């Protein structure tokens, strides 16, 4: 089987924008990536079921989102605002909405996906707050995506908070709960278990991962467990980044930027986690990675060394084995499978 992958990048050095490649699952190889869309700063990508590629976009002193056709890469439209670009895109297929998280502005923006696949803003919320770390000088929303019951969860690294909102069909937000994490935790990304009752949170600044319990009755999250994502004797800089979960709910994966590894955790019978593997990403600063459709492979992008690494994945143990490294992607920071 051949699976298409899109790579989002920074465009500060040599990158031209969005790149594409093919994962051949029979040969267990990744093709040479090629440019797909020339665009400024597409640091996060998402695909819609209707066949649009949504990309973070930076243009001069503006930032926002662009919507592209995946058949010929023509642009549907771009919604740009003054200032820095967002850092995350969430897609709500049921209500045909898109949610963006703006790290620099502490802002959540909601967009409607129109019939012609263009985007129109419907709401925005700016959160406030700060934390004890130097990186927590103000609110820094890093994640905006759906809970299992179609509320919106927003993770603020700056104030150590996770917000949950009700979402109207028209795309307006109403806050229903907030979880305060320990000061300096620096929450970044969140993933929910298939049963809808638990979630797992990556702490960028603390290099930790936490198990949370989700109560759909009132839309609240409760902290149950916290573990390190790096060894205790690692004293150099590290920042936990992406977090992903296998669809069977048995394994959680976190990337470490600095320790330059993927940490593999097994979900125990009490839904808490146990570390089972740390594997090198064969590069520096792995910001993002993704499991393919079969979940037999993982692809990881290393931002600072301009390379992508391919792993096979043991679906029984969750452990990874490196198959291919040094696949060139300049400034790669997002991995998005099309299938």
What is each CA distance from 180 to 10, 166, 201, 248, 323, in whole angstroms? Answer: 31, 19, 13, 29, 40
Residues 115-129 have pLDDT tens digits of: 999 999 999 999 999
Rounded-to-integer distance, Cα 12 and Cα 315, Å? 37
Contacts of 196 (CB under 8 A, 6+ apart): 147, 148, 149, 214, 216
Query: What pTM value is reported for the model?
Result: 0.98
Rounded mean pLDDT of 250-263?
98
Among the listed residues 110, 108, 100, 48, the one whose alpha carbon sits nearest the alpha carbon of residue 76: 48
SS3 label, residue 284: coil
What is the per-residue pLDDT for 295?
98
DSSP letter string, 130-193: --SSGGGSS--EEEEEE-TTS-EEEEETTTTEEEEEEE-TTS-EEEEEEEEPPTT--EEEEEE-
- Residue 225 and residue 270 in contact, taking contact as beta carbons nearer than 8 Å: no
Confidence band for 339, pLDDT divided at 50, 70 and 90: confident
Confidence band for 41, pLDDT divided at 50, 70 and 90: very high
Residues 164-176 have pLDDT tens digits of: 999 999 999 999 9
CA-CA-CA-CA dihedral for 305, 306, 312, 316, to nearest 10: 70
Residues 81-116 have pLDDT tens digits of: 999 999 999 999 999 999 999 999 999 999 999 999
Rounded-to-integer distance, Cα 111 and Cα 149, Å? 19
**Number of other residues whose CB lies within 10 A of the CB of residue 12:** 11
Residues 292-336 have pLDDT tens digits of: 999 999 999 999 999 999 999 999 999 999 999 999 999 999 999
User: Is the pLDDT at 258 greater than 80, yes or no?
Assistant: yes
């Amino acid at each position: 089987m051949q699976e298409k992958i899109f790579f989002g990048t920074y465009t500060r050095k040599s990158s031209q924008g969005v790149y594409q490649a093919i994962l051949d699952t029979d040969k267990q190889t990744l093709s040479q990536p090629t440019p797909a869309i020339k665009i400024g700063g597409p640091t996060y990508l998402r695909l819609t079921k209707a066949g649009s590629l949504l990309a973070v976009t930076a243009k001069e002193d503006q930032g926002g989102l662009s919507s592209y056709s995946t058949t010929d890469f023509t642009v549907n439209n771009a919604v740009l605002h003054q200032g820095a670009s967002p850092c995350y895109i969430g897609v709500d297929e049921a209500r045909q909405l898109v949610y963006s998280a703006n790290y620099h502005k502490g802002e959540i923006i909601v967009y409607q996906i129109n019939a012609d696949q263009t985007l129109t803003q419907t709401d925005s919320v700016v959160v406030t707050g700060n934390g004890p770390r130097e990186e927590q000088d103000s609110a820094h929303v890093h994640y905006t995506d759906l809970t299992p019951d179609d509320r919106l969860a927003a993770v603020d690294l700056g104030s150590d908070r996770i917000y949950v909102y009700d979402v109207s069909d028209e795309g307006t937000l109403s806050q229903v709960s907030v979880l305060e994490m320990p000061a300096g935790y620096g929450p970044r990304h969140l993933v929910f278990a298939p049963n809808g009752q638990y979630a797992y949170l990556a702490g960028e600044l603390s290099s930790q991962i936490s198990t949370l319990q989700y109560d759909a009755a009132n839309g609240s999250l409760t902290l149950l467990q916290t573990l390190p994502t790096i060894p205790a004797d690692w004293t150099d800089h590290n920042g936990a980044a992406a977090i992903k979960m296998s669809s069977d709910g048995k394994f959680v994966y976190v990337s470490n930027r600095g320790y330059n590894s993927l940490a593999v955790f097994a979900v125990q019978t009490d839904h808490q986690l146990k570390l089972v593997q740390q594997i090198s990403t064969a590069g520096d600063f792995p910001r993002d990675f993704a499991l393919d459709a079969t979940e037999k492979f993982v692809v990881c992008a290393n931002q600072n060394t301009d390379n992508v690494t391919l792993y096979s994945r043991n679906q029984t143990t969750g452990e990874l084995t490196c198959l291919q490294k040094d696949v060139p992607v300049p400034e790669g920071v997002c991995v998005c499978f099309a299938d």
